[in-house]
């Protein structure tokens, strides 16, 4: 039998075994943790993009696109060397020029870099930016977690007051509302993790508390105790969650300024009637956060590790840590896959792109050319049409038109080409009429508007 391209020969029993050859077809598959977004799902994604753009315009955020590939050190310096994202999950490699680069695991660090690199500190402050795009983290793939996932984010740089945090949370809340989620479908969880000053004392207290319970902690938490104690509060393992109930709470350790800032945020939220849940255990996984941290959680999800739709907070030291001037800032990011998941769960009504009401069918070479020209003519008039120009049989084309549930099929054959006409068939009534080719667009428009 001739060998086909793409066939691989395997021999049962392994190399050198004498069993008969068994050709198997090797097809390429998605990498683990990656996914295709198929045409059927696109309407949900478009719905998200539209809401994001609309709300961004309402609150005057400007769009920014940053590259997917950045210097690795950008993320090490900002997200933090000891975080899971940087220590375990980044796609990092040395490129052909010898530079150590990473696929971005998140975009806030890139936005801060761009703010400094393009001198945005000389623009009127605060600078309000938003972005949409793919992020990469080599996490353990599980439901709702991917290695390439999409986020959109809203960042406000150069604004210090609690009003900025509150409005940022309001924007996140309003995106959820605009997407069509019922108010009880999600909750805003909020906490303050203070600044470097108050956090230092708190961390000591936290470590002392957890040290006494070390033997009951999971393996990861034993490491966190040394490397990243705040993340002890974030552990999803049941035993560790039980211990957390008695852990000291950061709110009791906030200095006066951080406390006043947090109270200010809550007051604005109360006044704006944004309901929230005070969550003393919310800490966030990235190093750059200061003061306010928040997450939006899906209410319906049992599994707390997968229920976060979006999250954010204040990052007052980030720009400075990258060599820029002191720049208080605040922002959030949502995961689009999670939003799509919730839209499906909530059966949010999403408008599909309008389908054409017309099908153009043709028989014969000359008719095919005429039909293609007609398609262009209708397109220029803003009339959408289906076609199957690669098909020759009229029966097949009309069956397809039927399946697509169009109102009218325009049929062009040899005779119509010679006469300068077309047949317009009312698909439901089965009635056909002859129309002058030149008048098709205006006639079809009339028919569709009166239908
Ligand atoms: P983070 O950047 O970790 O604060 O995450 C912000 C949001 O991005 C989360 O609330 C999720 O909705 C989403 N997200 C984070 N990691 C993943 C992932 N691996 N797969 C899918 N969505 C994710």
Paired tokens of 382:
């803003």
Average pLDDT, the chain: 91
Paired tokens of 54:
């609309």
Rounded to the nearest angstrom, the distance between the alpha carbon of 310 and the centre of ligand 1 is 7
Please give all residues whose beta carbon lies within 6 A of any atom in ligand 1, as ranges: 106, 137, 139, 145-146, 149, 151, 285, 308-311, 333-335, 337-338
SS3 for 439? Answer: helix
Please indicate whether residue 201 or residue 398 has the higher confidence score (pLDDT).
Answer: 398
Instruction: Report the pLDDT averaged over residues 272-283.
Output: 93
In this prediction, residue 406 has a pLDDT band, given cuts at 50, 70 and 90, of very high
In this prediction, residue 143 has a pLDDT band, given cuts at 50, 70 and 90, of confident
Instruction: Report the pLDDT averaged over residues 413-436.
Output: 96
For β-strands 69-71 and 277-278, DSSP reports them as unpaired
> What residue's CA is closest to ligand 1, atom 2?
106
SS3 for 71? Answer: strand
Rounded to the nearest angstrom, the distance between the alpha carbon of 285 and the centre of ligand 1 is 11
In this prediction, residue 140 has a pLDDT band, given cuts at 50, 70 and 90, of confident
SS3 for 104? Answer: coil
Res 220: pLDDT: 87
Q: What angle do CA 216, 218, 222 make, to 5 degrees?
A: 90
Q: 227-247 pLDDT, tens per residue?
A: 888 889 988 888 998 999 899
**Which position has the token pair 């490129």?**
95
For β-strands 408-412 and 385-387, DSSP reports them as unpaired
Rounded to the nearest angstrom, the distance between the alpha carbon of 440 and the centre of ligand 1 is 51
Paired tokens of 106:
């998140």
CA distance 376 to 369: 11
Rounded to the nearest angstrom, the distance between the alpha carbon of 333 and the centre of ligand 1 is 8
Instruction: Report the pLDDT averaged over residues 411-415.
Output: 97
> For the chain, how many residues are written?
451
In this prediction, residue 186 has a pLDDT band, given cuts at 50, 70 and 90, of very high
DSSP per-residue codes, 411-428: EE-HHHHHHTEEEEEETT
Of 325, 310, 51, nearest to 168 by C-alpha is: 310
> What residue's CA is closest to ligand 1, atom 16?
145
Of 425, 431, 451, 448, nearest to 378 by C-alpha is: 448
Q: Is the peptide bond before 75 cis (omega within 30 degrees of 0)?
A: no
Please, are residues 302 and 200 in contact by the beta-carbon 8 Å criterion?
Answer: no
Rounded to the nearest angstrom, the distance between the alpha carbon of 144 and the centre of ligand 1 is 9
Residue 13 has pLDDT above 70, yes or no: no
Radius of gyration of the chain (CA): 29
Please, are residues 241 and 221 in contact by the beta-carbon 8 Å criterion?
Answer: no
Rounded to the nearest angstrom, the distance between the alpha carbon of 264 and the centre of ligand 1 is 28
CA distance 49 to 129: 15
> What residue's CA is closest to ligand 1, atom 11?
335
- CB crowding 129-141: b at 16 or more within 10 Å, else e: bbbbbebbbbbee
Q: 355-404 pLDDT, tens per residue?
A: 899 999 999 999 999 999 999 999 999 999 999 999 999 999 999 999 99
CA distance 44 to 48: 6
Residue 302 has pLDDT above 70, yes or no: no
Res 9: pLDDT: 46
SS3 for 72? Answer: helix
Residue 277 has pLDDT above 60, yes or no: yes
Percentage with pLDDT > 90 across the chain: 78
SS3 for 155? Answer: strand
Res 5: pLDDT: 43
Res 288: pLDDT: 85
In this prediction, residue 82 has a pLDDT band, given cuts at 50, 70 and 90, of confident
312 CA closest ligand 1 atom index: 4
Res 141: pLDDT: 80
Residue 18 has pLDDT above 60, yes or no: no
In this prediction, residue 14 has a pLDDT band, given cuts at 50, 70 and 90, of very low
In this prediction, residue 307 has a pLDDT band, given cuts at 50, 70 and 90, of confident
**φ and ψ of 165, to 5 deg:** -60, -45
The predicted model scores a pTM of 0.88
Residue 150 has pLDDT above 60, yes or no: yes
Q: Give the number of other Cβ atoms within 10 Å of residue 120's Cβ.
A: 20
Residue 269 has pLDDT above 50, yes or no: yes
Rounded to the nearest angstrom, the distance between the alpha carbon of 338 and the centre of ligand 1 is 8
Q: Which residues contact 159 (CB under 8 A, 6 or more apart)?
A: 125, 126, 328, 329, 330
In this prediction, residue 10 has a pLDDT band, given cuts at 50, 70 and 90, of very low
Which residue out of 335, 336, 337, 341 has the highest number of ligand 1 atoms within 8 Å of its CB and is therefore the one to mutate? 335
145 CA closest ligand 1 atom index: 20
């Amino acid at each position: 039998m001739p060998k086909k391209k793409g066939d691989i020969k395997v021999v049962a029993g392994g190399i050198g075994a004498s069993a008969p050859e068994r050709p198997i077809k090797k097809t390429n598959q998605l990498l683990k943790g990656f996914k295709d977004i198929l045409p059927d799902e696109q309407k949900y994604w478009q719905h998200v993009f539209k809401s994001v753009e609309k709300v961004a315009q309402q609150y005057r955020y400007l769009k920014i696109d940053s590259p997917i590939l950045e210097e690795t050190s950008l993320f090490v310096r900002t997200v933090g060397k000891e975080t899971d994202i940087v220590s375990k999950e980044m796609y990092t490699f040395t490129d052909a020029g010898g530079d150590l680069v990473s696929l971005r695991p998140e975009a806030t660090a890139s936005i801060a870099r761009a703010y400094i690199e393009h001198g945005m500190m000389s623009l009127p402050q605060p600078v309000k930016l938003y972005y949409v795009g793919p992020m990469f983290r080599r996490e353990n793939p599980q439901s709702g977690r991917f290695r390439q996932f999409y986020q959109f984010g809203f960042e406000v740089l150069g604004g210090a007051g609690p009003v900025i945090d509150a409005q940022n949370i309001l924007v996140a809340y309003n995106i959820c509302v605009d997407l069509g989620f019922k108010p009880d479908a999600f909750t805003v969880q909020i906490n303050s993790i203070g600044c470097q000053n108050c956090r230092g004392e708190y961390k000591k207290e936290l470590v002392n508390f957890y040290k006494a319970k070390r033997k009951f902690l999971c393996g990861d938490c034993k490491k966190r105790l040394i490397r990243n104690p705040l993340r002890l509060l974030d552990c999803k393992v049941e035993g560790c969650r039980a211990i957390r109930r008695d852990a000291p709470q950061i709110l009791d350790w906030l200095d006066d300024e951080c406390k006043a800032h947090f109270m200010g945020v809550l007051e604005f939220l109360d006044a704006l009637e944004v309901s929230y849940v005070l969550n003393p255990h919310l800490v966030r996984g990235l190093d750059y956060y200061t003061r306010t941290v928040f997450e939006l959680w899906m209410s319906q999800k049992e599994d707390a590790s997968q229920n976060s739709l979006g999250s954010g907070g204040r990052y007052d030291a980030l720009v400075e840590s990258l060599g820029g001037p002191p720049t208080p800032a605040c922002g959030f990011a949502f995961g689009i896959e999670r939003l799509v998941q919730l839209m499906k769960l909530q059966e949010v009504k999403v408008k599909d792109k309008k389908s054409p009401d017309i099908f153009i069918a043709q028989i014969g070479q000359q008719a095919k050319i005429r039909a293609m020209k007609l398609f262009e003519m209708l397109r220029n008039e803003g009339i959408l049409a289906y076609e199957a120009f690669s098909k020759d049989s009229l029966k097949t084309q009309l069956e397809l038109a039927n399946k697509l549930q169009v109102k009218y099929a325009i049929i062009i054959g040899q005779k119509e080409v010679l006469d300068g006409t077309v047949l317009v068939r009312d698909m439901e009534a089965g009635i056909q009429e002859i129309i002058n080719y030149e008048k098709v667009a205006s006639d079809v428009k009339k028919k569709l508007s009166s239908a």
